[in-house]
Amino acid sequence: MIRPNILFRYVFMRVARTIAGFFVMVLSLIVLVDFVENLRRAAGRENAGAVEALQASLLHAPSIAEEVFPFAILIGSMIAFLDLSRKLELVVARASGVSIWQILAPAIAFAVLCGIFVATLYNPVAATMRAEHDRMRIEYFGGSATGLLQGGRGKPWLRQQGVDGQAIIHAAQAAQNGTLLSDVIVFVFAGEDDFVERIDATRAELLPGRWILNDARVTKRDGITTDYPTYVLSTHLTPEKVREVFGSLDAASFWELRGLVDAAELAGLPTRHYQLEYHSLLALPAFFAAMVFVAATVSLRIFRFGNLLRMIVIGIATGFVLYVLVSITRELGSNGTISAMAAAWLPVILAMMFSVSVLLHQEDG
């Protein structure tokens, strides 16, 4: 007779080691690829070298790897269950009267704990590192074709009002929640359409009541061009408004999101992006548990029925289908078609219902 607590600890550790090993492998690959890309950007720049490129890659990798966690849970669980099956340990456990739910309990417990850890601890640390990376990228590597603006929004134009009149601002890259911009273009107007000047600057920083533009080239409407080391442009913009346009949610942590929602509501700005990110992080433990259930449907009874490769491919394909479903519901939530809560929880509920139904059929016939 197998003691339940011993079985729980054994399966828990096997699953934890496999998932952690897979995640570390992917994280190392991300660091390597990003390091090579940063080295390419650093070529020909006096203030950037291999050390800065490596530092930027180490700061950037955790926020990118955050997207890999669900697949680490899925593939790591599949590998752990397959290994238990290959060594006939699952056969022995089932012959001793252990149900499939007792075998799954340790893996689900680890997935839930991992989800809580990622949402409450890993995410804030990754967000802080991402914010520092964005600042470093502007300072050391300058502008590039691939901006730091939030995916899906492109590179937006922002209309603002100030003492100097109206202005339209465009930036290739943004950091510090949109208050630090790189490769900036500004068109200044005296009225609605009375063009005054164009400003091209390598960098712009938002301070109370003004933008500070560095290395600015000002072109008047008569074509006369003047260069300024520093150029001041008045503004009535607040950090909340700038963040809504230029900011990246990758640099916002779980603990900041509720405050951002409240601040955006007070400022009369849309809140659905913040609410969607907040509910997605809240649903993370359940989403990770759903990944374990999906892994179990294709790996717990493979060696009894054969078709190993086919079932592994089906498991991975199911994970990608779930990822596509998450992307679709997030897009619907971002557009306001469905609520943020529904967009975050619907894929989790569907994955749970599907996988549990399959497991019940496999277990009871």
**Residue predicted with more confidence, 43 or 285:** 285
Mean pLDDT within 351-355: 88
Q: How far is CA 160 from CA 175, 199, 203, 235, 358, in A?
A: 19, 14, 17, 7, 55
Residue 285 clears pLDDT 90, i.e. is over it: yes
How many other CB atoms are there within 10 angstroms of residue 214's CB atom? 15
- Which tens digits make up the pLDDT trace of 90-115? 777 767 777 778 888 999 999 999 99
User: What's the full length of the chain, in residues?
Assistant: 365
Are 196 and 165 in contact by the 8 Å Cβ rule? The answer is: yes
**Is 23's pLDDT higher than 70?**
yes
**pLDDT of 290 over the 70 cut:** yes
**Res 19: pLDDT:** 93
Mean pLDDT over 130-136 rounds to 78
Choice between 329 and 3, residue whose per-residue pLDDT is larger: 329
Most confident option among 54-58, 119-123, 258-262: 119-123
Question: For a pLDDT cut of 90, what percent of the chain falls above it?
Answer: 17
In this structure, the number of other CB atoms found within 10 A of the CB of residue 309 comes to 9
Query: DSSP class of residue 250?
Result: G
Q: How confident is the model at residue 266 (pLDDT cuts 50, 70, 90)?
A: low
pLDDT in tens, 317-341: 888 888 888 889 988 888 888 888 8
On the question of pLDDT at 152 being above 50, the answer is: no
Q: How confident is the model at residue 284 (pLDDT cuts 50, 70, 90)?
A: very high
Task: Spell out a b/e string for 140-163, using b for 16 or more CB atoms within 10 Å of the CB, else e.
Answer: bbbbeeebbbbeeeeeeebebebe
Residue 251 contacts residue 134 (beta carbons within 8 Å): yes
- Cα(179)–Cα(200) distance, integer angstroms: 17
Give CA–CA dist 271/243, Å, rounded.
12
Confidence of residue 147 (pLDDT cuts 50, 70, 90): very low
User: Treating both helix axes as pointing N-terminal to C-terminal, what angle do 308-334 and 69-86 enclose, rounded to 10 degrees?
Assistant: 160
Which residues, in sequence order, are bridge partners of residue 167?
160, 188
Beta-carbon contacts of residue 255 (< 8 Å; ≥ 6 apart)? 120, 124
**What's the pLDDT at 111?**
94
Q: Tell me how far apart the alpha carbons of residues 110 and 285 are, in angstroms, rounded to a whole number.
A: 9
The model carries a pTM of 0.73
Cβ(76)–Cβ(21) below 8 Å: yes
User: Average pLDDT over the chain, rounded to whole?
Assistant: 80
Distance from C-alpha of 218 to C-alpha of 226, rounded to nearest angstrom: 5
244 pLDDT higher than 80: no
What is the dihedral sign for C-alpha 43, 49, 55, 56? Answer: negative
Average of per-residue pLDDT across 9-16: 89
pLDDT at 21: 92
Angle between helices 4-42 and 50-65 (to 10 degrees): 140
pLDDT tens for each residue of 162-208: 787 788 888 877 777 677 888 888 888 886 667 888 999 988 888 88
- Nearest CA to 118 among 319, 340, 280, 284? 284
Report pLDDT for 148.
34
Domain-by-domain residue ranges, the chain? Answer: 4-143+268-364, 157-247
**Separation CA 194–CA 261 (nearest Å):** 36
